[in-house]
Amino acid sequence: MLALLTTLALGSTDAGITAFKNPKDAFARVLAAKPSILGVGEYHELAGGPKAPSAIKHFMNEALPVLDGGATSLIVETWMLNGKCGQVEKQAAQAVAKTTQRPEETEDELTTMMGRAYDLGLKNHTLLITCDDYRSMLDKDGELDPEQSLLLMRRKVEEKALEVRENEEGGLPGKLLILYGGALHNDLTPAPDDAPFAFGQSLQRETRGGYVELDLLVPEYVEKDEALAKEPWFAPALALAKKGQTVLVQPSPGVNVIVFAYSKLKPPRRR
């Protein structure tokens, strides 16, 4: 059973914006729709960028406890390097790291999150990447091919979700399956250019409307994002986040965006 709301929402607007006192209540509002599959996408931290608790930490500490036994499985958009594919595996890993610019501690946070999920009774899954997959991620110069890499990730996550669903482990009514990755593949209403990389609509058809999108925004990471700035809800949501409120935006059916409150963390002093 999903945990009940513990405090009332602070208020809402006609633009589908609701402010909460804490993230747990915002998550509970999303989960009240009782999805079969929850596609979680994050705008991740960049190395050298502003310091604030990551979306992974928020999800681990504030969302997973709200599930209260209401989820059975977690698929994380990551994979293990085992060295079996030799140089192409090493090249692909280096190319991904160079392109995404994620801090080194991100992988540790993912591992910690999966450990917490396991403790809460969820079965964890990561992706299986073959040697041919690694080769498909690289262009003729050995650099990351963005389009092919995005297509690969979309296919791998979707295939794993369908496998878990077919095995009746998750993705069915009463057996919530959570997908955790970047805020593109999970889109329900992607821009035309992004549609080939998103599995939201496909999984929504597969679950007959049981798929729900949830994007996680750490304001310090996205406040200068030019694409997000064009969204009519973005400026009002940031204004509420600066007041210490967690903001849930629901721009269309099945689409949810949580904007966390600004952190009080201060950047480390330079020596």
207: left (phi over 0), alpha (psi -120 to 50) or beta: alpha
pLDDT tens column, 234-257:
999 999 999 999 999 999 999 999
pLDDT value at position 83? 84
Span 46-53, mean pLDDT? 74
Span 130-142, mean pLDDT? 92
Asked if residue 191 has pLDDT above 50, the reply is yes
pLDDT value at position 93? 87
| Tokens 């992974």, located at residue | 56
**Rounded to whole angstroms, how far apart are CA atoms 49 and 35?**
34
Q: Which residues pair with 71 in a beta bridge?
A: 176
Span 102-128, mean pLDDT? 87
CB–CB of 60/234 below 8 Å? Answer: no
Confidence of residue 264 (pLDDT cuts 50, 70, 90): confident
pLDDT tens column, 166-187:
999 999 999 999 999 988 999 9
The model carries a pTM of 0.88
Task: Return the C-alpha torsion angle 90, 96, 97, 102, nearest 10.
Answer: -150
Asked if residue 158 has pLDDT above 70, the reply is yes
**Rounded to whole angstroms, how far apart are CA atoms 16 and 232?**
11
Asked if residue 154 has pLDDT above 90, the reply is yes
**What is the residue-averaged pLDDT of the chain?**
88
Asked if residue 10 has pLDDT above 60, the reply is no
| Residue 24 token pair | 């747990």
pLDDT tens column, 61-108:
999 999 888 899 999 999 988 888 999 999 898 888 777 666 666 678
The helix or strand, by DSSP H or E, that contains position 92, with its residue range, turns out to be helix 86-100
pLDDT value at position 180? 96
CB–CB of 195/184 below 8 Å? Answer: no
Confidence of residue 58 (pLDDT cuts 50, 70, 90): very high
